Amino acid sequence: MKFIKEIFEWIIVIAVSIALYFGITTYLVAPYTVKGHSMDYTFADNDKVFINKISSTYERGDEIVFHANETDDYIKRIIGVPGDTVEVIGDVLYINGQKVDEPYLEQKKKELAANGSTESLTPDFNIEYLKSTQSKTVPSGMYFVMGDNRPNSTDSRVFGFIKEDAIVGKVILRYYPFSTFKTF
């Protein structure tokens, strides 16, 4: 009888643990594995991160995961929020006419320069004239996102603005590889 009671207790512990795991990952935080190199050097291919799924506010600079289509999720950086004008001139980002520093691009820019390249990391554009966006400002309920590895990123310059309801969550922690553990 004692043996059956112990088995029953273990079954309850396992069932509660599974229920908690699914409840937490469905509604609060979720693990995500970075796929590809579009966010180099902020995130590398196969980095493991946790995303905050309950955040309801997103700001410029936030790294987010969103549904790019029915089967794929992307991780990108928010560049423009509703009402923003966005343009890049001479490899410099301007939001609402104001220069924006992008320190997360410095390593990539140094790499380009070291290879003798004279090309810009981010080719000039204005969201008003991109085929994917064609809007003077970022529309209400939408965001303009780009990868940190600008030459190798499929982002809003290609697929346009993303809807707020497509956002899965904001990156809050990189937990693997352990040597690059970081909170965001």
Catalytic residue numbers read 38, 76
Find out whether 60 and 98 touch, Cβ atoms under 8 Å: no
End-to-end CA distance of the chain: 51
CA distance 118 to 120: 7
Pair of tokens at residue 49: 């991160």
Helix residue ranges per DSSP H, 28-175 = 106-114, 156-159
Pair of tokens at residue 13: 């512990």
Find out whether 44 and 166 touch, Cβ atoms under 8 Å: no
Q: In the beta sheet, which residues pair with residue 88?
A: 93, 125
Please give the DSSP secondary-structure letter assigned to residue 19.
H
| φ and ψ of 8, to 5 deg | -60, -45
